[in-house]
Amino acid sequence: MTDSTDASSHHVSYADYATGEPVVDKAVPSGAIETRWERRRFGVKLVNPANKRSKKIIVVGSGLAGGSASATLGEAGYHVKTFCYQDSPRRAHSIAAQGGINAAKNYRNDGDSVYRLFYDTVKGGDFRARESNVHRLAEISRQIIDQCVAQGVPFARDYAGLLDNRSFGGVQVSRTFYARGQTGQQLLIGAYQALERQVKAGTVEMYARHEMLELIVVEGRARGIVARDMVSGEIEVHTADAVVLASGGYGNVFYLSTNAKGCNVTAGWRAHRKGALFANPCFTQIHPTCIPVSGDHQSKLTLMSESLRNDGRVWVPKKLGDDRGPNEIPHEERDYFLERKYPAFGNLVPRDIASRAAKEVCDEKRGVGPSGLGVYLDFDDAIQRLGRKAVENKYGNLFEMYERITGENPYEVPMRIFPAVHYTMGGLWVDYDLQSTVPGLYVAGEANFSDHGANRLGASALMQGLADGYFVLPVTIGDYLAKNELDAVPDDAPEVVEAVQSVTDRIDQFLSINGTRTVDSFHRELGQIMWDYCGMERTEEGLRKALDRIPELRREFWNNVKVPGTGAELNQSLEKAGRVADFLELGELMCLDALVRRESCGGHFRGESQTEDGEAQRDDENFSFTSAWEYTGRGQAPVLHKEELTFEYVHPTQRSYK
Ligand SMILES: Cc1cc2nc3c(=O)[nH]c(=O)nc-3n(C[C@H](O)[C@H](O)[C@H](O)COP(=O)(O)OP(=O)(O)OC[C@H]3O[C@@H](n4cnc5c(N)ncnc54)[C@H](O)[C@@H]3O)c2cc1C
């Protein structure tokens, strides 16, 4: 089905989905988990160094995953073309990461190990991740720190000069490396420098302000992309021997999220339409510590790093309707609900648990702030214990950011926080080699369906993006290139012509609808539907409502959206229209995925599936699988392929942080 016929397409019930053949990860070696990655690396076919120059690789994305992949592939001698929609790779959303990056270095000698990081991550993800991938991630975590230190990333150090660590949720050791509250920025500058070095060396060609709008698939293999020069509007064809998508997460399907405004699903969704399965789309992370929504005018939300929960205490008044200022409420009249409910982990429970606990007290009408949708994050005790200077050293820039946005001084009045959409665990399905179901299409970082299962532990996204880019892809993609000698794709190949045509048709259609509603108004409405029905709590009834409403909204979009301007110029409404059109399809798939998964796990909380004390109740017998969806046409019921998950090492138990 083409985009132009979609406007009139009939509504086919998504809930009529079919179940297809299981999807199997054929790339993962068997045997002892500790040696799987070692054996995979030894098993790959190598590309002769002299031949690497003739192999072209396209990398879409220059955040931590794409930047590190491009730099490493360039350094290895491949001919790399890297794309990003920002004006510089340095502005990728990764720059926003605040809190830190995990690594099993055990510098604190507090009992950490590769195995413990592996264990914590499998458990933290509520047993919905692959053991082999997670173990590899834990192994590589140590190399990442060495790599970044060698690049000069200024990690925080302790008094003795050793790299410092702090704790993040869901763990009882201190393994998070950080650079004040700007870890992502410092890591990205490291990757960016390495990337620019390759640009100078001529191995990487950088295409900033270019948006990938289509994947080119020739004889079943990913062979290139169609991109739009966002300044001139020119549509360009770029072909290659393999394509890497490192295009980030899709949390902005909710309109309001902590993601940068530009984050979107288009690269991944275009690939999905061309045959790449989309895995666990409903697994969304809601982060407990964000600045509460303050009104309709807002277009984005601000995260306050999880690291703040190392020293900040979360509370609400015990009494209903207590409207005293926070400093007037004595300690004994405060409910430190995380410490009360989860004494073993206290304020450092994982994000899904902390978010739900905050929702629960707000549902009881004990929330604080003008909307009642907020809880306090209080540093009073920490300031008294450590002194203001020490708190300032650790979190100074976060406190400053909070004060600038809210006008309140968190050294004097507790911060107010509330959960918000933050990260998407779902993404394109990949095997152990990070290859999607389209041969030659690799997916890295937040764009793949990730090693985090149903809930990502804090400080693990940076670790995964850099593991994928610096260490995994350069090995596995080489294997593919060594084994597949591919002819160049001519610009007039029918698949290329078709891909270009579909991009230009779509742009023409956006510009010709000339309706009455802005792109943003559709996006905002979609976001509200997603938040209400596919947000912190999902129910059969709500999801069915969303599945009815989203196709209607999509049809209205294709009939009534207004995109001013032309395609031959910088046109932000046009850019947004393309992204929102894809969100309108993705949102429906997310709701279907959430409906089909009739269990709660991690961030996916089904109201119908909870324990007596309100915790997520998994159903391992029926749902111990990754869902991988096949596209069959817009508004058409997709096909579900299941990848069964097996746990040989970390045996599934009811997660407990009590
Ligand atoms: C506020 C915030 C704080 C966070 N803090 C932490 C933290 O402390 N620790 C942690 O581990 N994680 C953290 N995370 C999560 C983490 O930052 C992200 O998951 C991670 O940085 C994603 O990296 P990435 O390389 O996959 O994608 P991104 O950094 O989002 O990069 C995506 C790239 O793809 C490009 N792109 C996308 N689509 C297209 C297209 N169609 N055409 C061309 N280019 C395209 C973009 O231009 C960009 O270069 C945080 C997230 C947020 C929102």
pLDDT in tens, 413-471: 999 999 999 999 999 999 999 999 999 999 999 999 979 999 999 999 999 999 999 99
pLDDT at 9: 47
Report the C-alpha gap between 509 and 304 in whole angstroms.
Answer: 40
The protein residue with its alpha carbon nearest to ligand 1, atom 15, reads: 461
Report the C-alpha gap between 271 and 425 in whole angstroms.
Answer: 18
Residue 246 CA to ligand 1 center (angstroms) comes to 9
More confident residue, 101 or 171: 101
Boundary of a domain, candidates 422, 457, 481: 422
Instruction: Indicate if 505 and 591 belong to the same structural domain.
Output: yes
**Ligand 1: nearest atom to the Cα of 62:** 49
Q: Please give the share of the chain, as a percent, with pLDDT higher than 70.
A: 98
pLDDT at 89: 96
pLDDT in tens, 211-234: 999 999 999 999 999 999 999 999
> What is residue 534's three-state secondary structure?
helix
Instruction: Indicate if 295 and 417 belong to the same structural domain.
Output: yes
Report the C-alpha gap between 436 and 556 in whole angstroms.
Answer: 33
Whether 408 maps to a domain, the answer reads yes
Residue 94 CA to ligand 1 center (angstroms) comes to 4
Q: How confident is the model at residue 295 (pLDDT cuts 50, 70, 90)?
A: confident
Instruction: Indicate if 399 and 511 belong to the same structural domain.
Output: no
| Domain region containing 339 | 287-422
Using alpha carbons, select from 422, 65, 379 the residue that is nearest to residue 253. 422
| Residue 351 is a catalytic residue | yes
Residue 446 CA to ligand 1 center (angstroms) comes to 7
Find the DSSP H helices in 342-483. 351-363, 380-386, 388-406, 461-466, 473-483
Tell me which of 92-106, 165-179, 370-384, 412-426 is least confident. 165-179
User: Would you say 503 and 226 are in contact if contact means Cβ atoms under 8 Å apart?
Assistant: yes
The protein residue with its alpha carbon nearest to ligand 1, atom 10, reads: 459
Of 90, 93, 209, best ligand 1 pocket probe by most atoms within 8 Å of the beta carbon: 93
Q: How confident is the model at residue 520 (pLDDT cuts 50, 70, 90)?
A: very high
pLDDT in tens, 234-258: 999 999 999 999 999 999 999 999 9
pLDDT at 5: 46
Tell me what the mean pLDDT of segment 95-123 comes to: 95
Q: From the candidates 273, 351, 554, 618, which is the catalytic residue? A: 351
- Token pair, residue 262, equals 């530009």
User: What residues pair up with 243 in beta bridges, in sequence order?
Assistant: 58, 441
**Ligand 1: nearest atom to the Cα of 64:** 25
Whether 584 maps to a domain, the answer reads yes
Q: How far is residue 36 CA from its own chain's centroid? A: 26
The protein residue with its alpha carbon nearest to ligand 1, atom 21, reads: 94
Whether 427 maps to a domain, the answer reads no
Domains in the chain: how many in total? 2
pLDDT in tens, 118-144: 999 999 999 999 999 999 999 999 999
**Ligand 1: nearest atom to the Cα of 251:** 53
Q: How confident is the model at residue 634 (pLDDT cuts 50, 70, 90)?
A: confident
Instruction: Indicate if 506 and 590 belong to the same structural domain.
Output: yes
Residue 54 CA to ligand 1 center (angstroms) comes to 30
Report the C-alpha gap between 535 and 521 in whole angstroms.
Answer: 19
Residue 445 CA to ligand 1 center (angstroms) comes to 8
pLDDT in tens, 546-586: 999 999 999 999 999 999 999 999 999 999 999 999 999 99
Tell me what the mean pLDDT of segment 182-193 comes to: 97
Instruction: Indicate if 502 and 406 belong to the same structural domain.
Output: no
Residue 377 region, left (φ>0) first, then alpha (ψ -120 to 50), else beta?
A: beta
More confident residue, 99 or 55: 55
Q: How confident is the model at residue 596 (pLDDT cuts 50, 70, 90)?
A: very high
Residue 40 CA to ligand 1 center (angstroms) comes to 28
Q: How confident is the model at residue 646 (pLDDT cuts 50, 70, 90)?
A: very high
The protein residue with its alpha carbon nearest to ligand 1, atom 33, reads: 61
Whether 359 maps to a domain, the answer reads yes
Boundary of a domain, candidates 386, 406, 422: 422
The protein residue with its alpha carbon nearest to ligand 1, atom 12, reads: 461
pLDDT at 155: 97
Whether 519 maps to a domain, the answer reads yes
Lining residues, ligand 1, CB within 6 Å = 60-66, 83-86, 92-94, 96-101, 183-184, 210-212, 246-249, 258-259, 263-264, 266-267, 303, 422-423, 445-447, 459-462, 465
Task: Give me the CATH number covering residue 296.
Answer: 3.90.700.10
Whether 222 maps to a domain, the answer reads no
- pLDDT higher than 60, residue 7: no
- Token pair, residue 143, equals 């190399």
Residue 6 CA to ligand 1 center (angstroms) comes to 31
Q: How does DSSP classify residue 303?
A: B
The protein residue with its alpha carbon nearest to ligand 1, atom 27, reads: 248
Q: Are strands 415-424 and 334-335 parallel, antiparallel or unpaired?
A: unpaired
Boundary of a domain, candidates 357, 391, 422: 422
- Burial tier of 208 (Cβ tally within 10 Å: 0-12, 13-18, 19+): middle
pLDDT at 159: 87
Using alpha carbons, select from 171, 164, 130 the residue that is nearest to residue 645. 130
Name 323's Cβ contacts closer than 8 Å, sequence gap at least 6.
Answer: none
Secondary structure element (H or E) that encloses residue 419, with its range? strand 415-424
User: Mean pLDDT for the chain?
Assistant: 95
**Ligand 1: nearest atom to the Cα of 89:** 49
